[in-house]
Amino acid sequence: MTTIGFIGLGTMGLPMAKNLLKNGFAVVGYDAWPATAEKAASAGVTMVDSPKAVAEAADDAVISMVRDLAQNQAVLLGDDGVAKATGKPLTAIIMSTLDPDSMDALAADVEAAGDLHVIAAAVSGGSTGAEAGTLSIMSSGPKEHVEAARAYFDAVGTNVFYYGEKPGASQSAKLVNNLVLGIIMNGVAEGLKFGAHYGLPEEELLALFKVSTGDSWVARNWDAVKAWTPDTALAVLLKDLKAAHLKGLEHSIPMPFNALSSTLLFDSWNVQ
């Protein structure tokens, strides 16, 4: 039985780890939050006390599914990080969403710090996709290492895409997907608000969308999407919308709809 390491076992990470277990892999994990670590242990993940210990127990790869760049730097490059493990070459599979330039810089730092190869594999599908094992996976990095990780990807997702040798390409694809998602979410919310003013039943409008030109993943999963909250999925999406906006400004790429959707996202959900 192959043992894979998994760091970050929260809303996305834990269901992904469960699907790895269901597909015959042993999973050794780490999470900084005790309550999260306890849940993962109850699900069958062998929990250890540091990212370094995860790397030492893994056979050939460690997945990082932590929230942001700072957390990835800590778990991969910190005093007890993955790069401190010795004895065998490993592939670090970064499945968090970062901006493309940060991903490329992180990959260079990690590969310089230890006997590690880095590939990126950002995901789309949200917690429902993670639970169902139907995530879309946007991979990039040296092709031989991406291909070697394919069995892990197939355990957690149903569609795997490859975007080239640079690790940051995965993140570019994820930001493209999420900026489109944010625009569509605001559009569906605005349309339903307009319909509500005229007394149109929400369920009938959603049924219309699903068989008409207003169809989208958001419309088909509206019950789940409208329940997203500022401390979980909405916060992660807003982070990605802001990252795309800043990269657009940096590279002089006009993206006014992305700027507007990021500004209005919480207002559309009636949250702060």
Token output for 263 = 């500004």
Taken as a whole, the chain contains a residue count of 272
Is-contact 138 123, C-beta < 8 A?
Answer: yes
Within 10 Å of residue 42's Cβ, how many Cβ atoms? 10
Distances (CA, A) of 158 to 149, 155, 168, 200: 14, 8, 22, 36
3-class state of residue 254 by DSSP:
coil
| Sign (positive or negative) of CA dihedral 147, 149, 155, 159 | negative
Token output for 233 = 């999925």
> Among 39, 88, 174, 242, which one carries the catalytic annotation?
174
Of 46, 52, 14, whose CA–CA distance to 29 is shortest? Answer: 46
> How far apart (Å, rounded) are the C-alpha atoms in residues 86 and 36?
27
Token output for 148 = 């070697």
Is-contact 83 31, C-beta < 8 A?
Answer: no
Told to judge if 174 belongs to the known catalytic residues of this protein, a careful annotator would answer yes
Pairing of strands 3-7, 157-162: unpaired
Q: How many helices (H) and strands (E) does the chain have?
A: 14, 8
Of 64, 69, 84, 89, whose CA–CA distance to 7 is shortest? Answer: 64
Phi, psi at 13, each rounded to 5°: -65, -40
Q: So which residues are the catalytic ones? A: 174
